[in-house]
Amino acid sequence: MGFRVIKTAIATLIAIIIADAFGIEGALSAGLLAILGVDVTRKRSLLTVSSRFFASVMGLLLAFGLFYILGFHIWGLVLYILIAFPLMARAQFKEGIVTSSVVVFRVFGGEELSLHVLLTQVELLLVGLGSAMLVNLIYMPKEENKLSDIRQKIDELFADIFSQIALTLHHPQHVWDGKELIEAGALIDEGLSTAKRALENQLVSPDDSWSVYFYMRKQQLERIESMLELIAQVFQRMPQTDIAAMLFERLSLDVTKAEYTGRTEAMLAEWEQEFKKMELPSTREEFEIRSAVLQICRELAMYLEIAKKDKVPTISKP
């Protein structure tokens, strides 16, 4: 059973008990409004509950006017829908369309227009939506452990990817299916959505370090994909390919570290100086391979620059 279902049940129970205790007519309707008010994050709850409340008040006032002029006829209710729904959407109260329909249909079913009826519907809204918001604000499931697990899996997948790249540079005939890339991409997207949900649950001093981390990995994955396109051009083993492979072997160890070690960056800078001292290629094939390796290293430098800039904020978390 999902925790949201449990919260919905609790909010419904609270709403019905409060409405019944205060003698508000239609206590069960307060429970129905509570069901509509439960949401997935605290910030979203505040926004949607306020939207639902103001949309319902707008709908009630419009419905009272239409029913007073036209009477309690089905076509009057249809006319309300045709007028009210577009107005609510334009007023940015689209989330409140269903909630407003609940209270308006109650008025229509009662076939009575009075200040008492209007206040009763407002009371039901306050009790039902208020109970939902109270339950939402009191507790939301923690996402920290889930985010940490996703991060660990992504780091391990990146380490596997770099190991495969190193193996391919050592042995160009090596065949790799690349499934780690697909898994890493899916986990990054999951991490971004989870981090966004966690951020929306932080009403005081929000911390976006998890979003920074997953966005960093998303950028880095794009650089890795560019590297793989260049690696496809390496069809022969050479001293330069072995040196580049050692860079990725080093990176496969560093990528799982919480901090930016800088070891791969130092090795890359040293190798680039050695590359400039080497003799020029003697054949076209050697030129193409060495050119591809050089481009791979430039992509690697861009990858490391992203890590150097964005990896620090995430390690501040316990």
pLDDT in tens, 112-143: 899 999 999 999 999 999 998 888 888 776 77
Q: How far apart are CA 62 and CA 263, in angstroms?
A: 68
The answer to whether the predicted template modeling score (pTM) of the entire model surpasses 0.75 is: no
Give Cα 151 distance to the centre of its chain. Answer: 14
**For the chain, first and last CA: distance in Å?**
30
pLDDT per residue as tens digits for the range 182-214: 999 999 999 999 888 888 777 666 667 888 889
List all residues 6 or more positions away from 308 whose beta carbon is below 8 Å from its beta carbon: 260, 262, 265
